[in-house]
Structure 1
């Protein structure tokens, strides 16, 4: 441990201790939080199941930064590098199109064996796996409808795929000893205003009921459903709206996925967390950064990220919240994007944990809003950076921007040679 880092940490501990904050305990709690790194940042959402496919379903990746992963082995190599630069022990989030197999199979034919290499790798790395059925970039999704499609044959194809996905997730949970969170998102919707908004939602409800009809223990698999306000090609109407999935999840005992980029540009999800978790046991949180629309930029430590972290910490909601990342930026180093987004998410949680929460709550209950405001503002300049540096050093990962040197070296030695 660098002496300067340790000395700064010890001085910071003294300052925080004045307000009853035991920093060593905070770091122990922080180390228990797992962030799920999304595999699709590493290859611009291409996947490996189908060759020469075009992105569809309202998904677009901009930029052509060199070095994206072209095989499952390359993607795992890149993930290993990213994880070596991030403190803590985490998870990796897979989409169905990232199957590692030489078999020619369609989405409705996928089995756990097609992901065996991922499971073996996760065991070796001490990681958990999360999962997502892929309901986009496929001929049966070209008209913008999947589980709510009016054609029963197409609808049945997607129902079967989602059922298979849940069994794959169950296998992940059993093999890795921790539950797999399986998130269900589909792009269904209309570009222009529809006449009939009800019928597609009825079909989606019934399709989801059929998918979830098979009982799978939450010891192995946790189901979540994800809403969206609009997308490319579904600007006027999305079947799976927030209200639809809120009602569905609460009446079916499923988790709700709140994505930071899936709401109105002036709407934030930090204000929704405490409300949603009053009525559901668990929540899936997709940390992203929208810029004017659902553009899924790399996560920065902006006000909304900090407010999300504060809500989770102040309400003691972390144990019921599964945190995953969801962005895809093809304009910067793919590995660096993971590192920046994940480190910022953990750093925001640390900042929230280093607030005098009980003192703030007491001031609020006593209507001492002056003290509340004063402390909130003063703690913004408390030396959380010294605590973060110590946490990184303690976990054997680079301190501050030192990680960038390693990422740049990796780019020269590995990424640019692909």
Structure 2
């Protein structure tokens, strides 16, 4: 049976439930995933001074072929994008600036240091998102940045974030799509603090200074990202979820939820509808924590499907900015991008092919038996045939055949590094 024949057969099964499969595929085409560049080089970046990775972040594994230059990283991203259906975005950290061998401190970064990234994005029809890098630097060695008690260190990081917002604005103006500029800091304490309030007051004041200048949201969107704990900040994190959620709501910023930044018993999927009640937009960094915020490659598991359900069933595909954030150096890095991003898109397609309105009605009627039965039966509906057809029509490999492209790229490119 051809891919088209399998699709038509599966489509007829879904249409019995009133699901417009063609419309679902059209909706899916319009959803960009923001793909994080740092999977390709283990969050190394291209700073001339080559700061060591720090801030409670660790990348394990030594699979050969890591990108060590901007050109290599862009080539790797292009290969991954050629295996992923749809038009997407690329998410950069400030440490991926290109300064022509000159040492440029982070508080002095300018749009010109990302001109090559913008030109590349234009050539490939991509949007760009951005992040100030408040880790892996001598001024963050003690685990404090925007909440630091030393005003000079605090000011350095404030100026860095201000510079990054201007770079995000530059991306938006040049590419015709607003950049999401997201702030995450490692600030916290290893042991129980004697004062939780003062560091949070300093963080609030720092953020107020960073956001003092209004930037047109058509060019740049600001978001803030929380974390429950990290290595070196096990007892207390200044930028908690409660802090950033409150700050974002009061100051009209996006609150970004990283799926690895909460207690293992918390489900980010359960937070989405609650937050959408009170904010126009929110952002996600989709990862897979194992034991802690270890950022494993995203799987098509129950939580990923539930995140997609919450976005789709609540009509929020245009309100939730979906980005990825994982880094695995134990496997082929281009394959990691491909697996994780395809899984995120699969989850959205899966959610688009579920009779959500009917299931909502069953819940309202108290018919939990039929609701549960249908939820479980749809798990074995011929979703794969729809996915294969979507990939084929988007000119990317179907099923596992994309691995052949990875093997060729590894042999011809990665193994030569």
Same fold (TM over 0.5): yes
| TM-score after normalising by structure 1 | 0.99
Cα distance in 1 for residues equivalent to 2:362 and 2:306: 19
Counterpart-to-counterpart distance in 2, 1:241 and 1:109: 28
Alignment correspondent of 2:353: 354
Q: State the Cα distance separating 1:53 from its structure 2 match.
A: 2.2
Aligned to 1:225: 224
Residue of structure 2 aligned with 1:56, choices 54, 57, 64: 54
Task: Specify the alignment match of 1:195 in structure 2.
Answer: 194
Q: CA deviation at 1:50?
A: 3.5
- Aligned residue runs from structure 1 range 285-364, under 5 A: 285-364=284-363
Distance 1:404 1:278 in 2: 42
Please give the per-residue CA displacement for 1:97-125, whole angstroms capped at 9, x wherever unaligned.
Answer: 00122132010010000000000000000
* Conserved? CA contact 2:19–2:353, under 8 Å: yes
Give unpaired runs (5+ residues) of structure 2. none
- The runs of 5 or more residues in structure 1 that have no matched partner are none
1:209 — aligned with what?
208
Question: Within 5 A, what are the aligned runs for 1:118-129?
Answer: 118-129=117-128
Cα RMSD between the aligned structures? Answer: 0.8
Distance 2:222 2:153 in 1: 22
- Is contact 1:50-1:97 (8 Å) kept? no
1:43 paired to 2:41: yes
Q: Deviation at 1:281?
A: 1.2
Aligned position for 1:101? 99
Distance 1:345 1:9 in 2: 21
* Separation (CA, whole Å) in 2 of partners of 1:36 and 1:215: 24
Matched, 1:271 2:270: yes
Runs of 4+ in 1 over 2 A off after TM superposition: 50-53
Q: Secondary structure at the match of 1:271?
A: helix
Aligned match of 1:240: 239
Which TM-score applies when normalising by structure 2? Answer: 0.99
- 2:26 alignment partner in structure 1: 28
Q: Aligned with 1:295: secondary structure?
A: strand
Cα distance in 2 between the residues matched to 1:17 and 1:414: 45
Distance 1:52 1:120 in 2: 25
What is the rounded CA distance, in whole Å, between the counterparts of 1:346 and 1:373 in structure 2?
A: 24
Partner of 2:115: 116
1:267 positional shift: 1.0
Tell me the secondary structure at the aligned position of residue 35 of structure 2. Answer: strand
The residue number in structure 2 matching 1:133 is 132
How far 1:329 moved relative to its partner?
Answer: 0.5
Answering whether residue 75 of structure 2 is matched by residue 71 of structure 1, we say no
